[in-house]
């Protein structure tokens, strides 16, 4: 039986929360589920976050690349993108809003980090 999808809403610009969301999404994608990570409002700032990862772990850019390769959908709040001055195209994310997110939820589980 296929795994149900999972939509993860990241609500703050905390890189650790973003790391957890990407890691969870990669694991779910490996199990065959539809995985989406949505960055809500101020969380969009993690798209420009830099920094190192704990020893032996991929940094955020590497983890994002792994997620993309695994088929994880990365979506960002349109308002958050505008407030942060970030282009969705430049950040390689789909722009959307909460209404779109909820109308396309289907039978996905919803998690907030």
- Condensed to tens digits (0 to 9), the pLDDT of residues 76-105 reads 999 999 999 999 998 999 999 999 999 999
pTM for this entry: 0.93
Average pLDDT over residues 62-85: 95
Domain 6-112 annotated CATH 3.40.1260.10? yes
| Residues 6+ away with beta carbon under 8 Å from 29 | 35, 67, 70, 71, 72
pLDDT at 55: 85
Name residue 1's beta-bridge partners.
none
pLDDT at 53: 82
From residue 42, how far is each of 11, 23, 25, 77, 97 by CA, in Å? 7, 20, 20, 9, 13
- Condensed to tens digits (0 to 9), the pLDDT of residues 17-59 reads 999 999 999 999 999 999 999 999 999 999 988 767 888 899 9
Number of helices (H), then strands (E), belonging to the chain: the values are 5, 5
């Amino acid at each position: 039986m296929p795994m149900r999808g999972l939509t993860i809403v990241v609500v703050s610009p905390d890189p650790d929360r973003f790391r957890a969301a990407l890691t969870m999404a990669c694991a779910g994608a490996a199990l065959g589920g539809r995985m989406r990570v949505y960055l809500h409002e101020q969380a969009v700032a993690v798209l420009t976050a830099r920094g190192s990862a704990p020893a032996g772990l991929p940094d955020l850019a590497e983890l994002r690349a792994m997620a993309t390769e695994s088929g994880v959908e990365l979506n960002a709040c349109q308002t958050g993108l505008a407030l942060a001055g970030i282009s969705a195209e430049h950040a390689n994310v789909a722009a959307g809003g909460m209404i779109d997110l909820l109308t396309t939820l289907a039978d996905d589980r919803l998690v907030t980090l």
